[in-house]
Structure 1
């Protein structure tokens, strides 16, 4: 009598951002010869989006196209193109585009954040975002139609807003660029780094208005909380983010922002067969809950993959430990400021500025795709982080 064949273990990864793709490539590289295990990636696009470069796309600059199916060739991983519309944690299924259903034994939840366009009236109807290459390209097309002297408002004085405002001002010097926000740009930086950032924005002609709230976005203006208004031929919204409601709808334990609450191994505290990575996860470290960046997202993806493999091997997963290392901010194509940080992102006195900083940032932000390719061939490379960061190295799950 023949022995009964073991059922194939299905691992499904949702989202091909920095975190999801890191998890996928690690899993695929380490399991390609295991016939009883299959890894599937679900993503709405077949290209990898470098969110760190969308401010370049938004000003009409071309960036490299990175094809996910080509990356996965030879790994045995399956790519499913489509939008995830539901997760059923009880039946362990994922619904894609309302008609396809995928079963999973282990789920990697990497559906990251998007711009919050619902908190302020008019944003969804009248503002542009950097949520996708398509949205960024729409904004670039709008900029190309504007006459000199037109005002462009960038709402949100965080680092995304700063980079976008600087890029717009450099590429379109005839436009009036206004950067709005609740806080001063670079408020969390060392005084020397902030002073350099302020001077760069002033040199580019960016007008900064801090400590203001946007009350409403209109077709041709932005209304502020004090009742005043700013004429705007175009508005780019970079203020605040929100995550997909799918995790909460699936019954996973989430925090007040809808992020999946994880244990030290990045497993959902309510559903240990679900691992959450990147912006989708509320990951607590000694200094508090991590904020979402690719600097921290890629290590979470690798750690989740290695945790899954340890569990499948009958071992306990190791705790995730990560500390931030730097905050690189581009100020146009040939200028930047790099703030080196402590693990909790508080600033250190070490600062890099000017062309050297621009070269430094270009080096670290050009790394994801080569890193993914190296992971595919040598999965142990997942422990090295060109984006910067302090990460506890995890050995093979074998």
Structure 2
């Protein structure tokens, strides 16, 4: 096993030599100890985005797990989750994660973006089956003793090639998730302090924070093409348990972003190119993901739109996208929310309030440390009367009940 110095205490970078239960065999370009160090030291995490979008046959590596062999580009990171249970399973960098994600993944709070990556978990399943969610850019597959989550951004064919290399079919059917029994209608209503985290915390972590923190609501990332973190804990049963324990929710959907060339994603996000059909598709998928978690009609689903440079085509696309998203959610019986910076999305919505269908609730980001839902940039007659969330601190780490989580802090007033 070869390791390299970490650039962040939250990240574990490991290249594995051949061993049981997993192994890595190099192709024509075998990975040596020196090469492993060079790969890991070469500007990570930026190396994930700068890696070639397609790999030549002699630039691949075979990764074996539970008897299944996947051929992946040899520049990809390989992470053994059994050895590194705190490793964050993230889909914004090229990587193969092997094993079950840990209960307390150490993820940065503000991961966004999507590229090609693979999570291969142990399971008792014995039948080959593959489904695909094109809107979310995700394949899910089962085979003998493994379950695979394969994410993709711009290069769907690369993920198809990797799945085929392990004998998994890619002529997949579209995912149709069954709706769960809904929790009560006040699940997305709350007044007080809340936090959001990239991946839904484990039950023990939620219990610790319920007893020891000031928070009563949690933002959960339910889906979207640019959702970067895996969500092993986020299930309908998890939602129902948290609701019964007194927690309330603000579900976030990280769909296409305003600009692939700038803003918070820094070139790592799939962008809005055809706003009306893409906004409509995002609403359809967001409603399905919410329903599968037990968040039924009447719930607010927040479209997460990260900071962007305003003006011209970008602003026009954002407004058309948000308008289509809101209109479609209303048709489906859900309420629309929108998350964004006061200097980009909120400014554009305020300036065009009379020309589009505004979201029902605004979730605005201004990191001024003030736990209030008023802001000088938002007129009092827009989103009045318990229709606001203020994200007032971002990218912070807190410990409650002995459990540390990277979060953003929010003040909610949503009825």
TM bucket normalised to smaller: under 0.3
Q: Structure 2-normalised TM-score?
A: 0.23
Q: Structure 1-normalised TM-score?
A: 0.24
Which structure carries more relative contact order (alpha carbon 8 Å, separation 6+)? Answer: 1
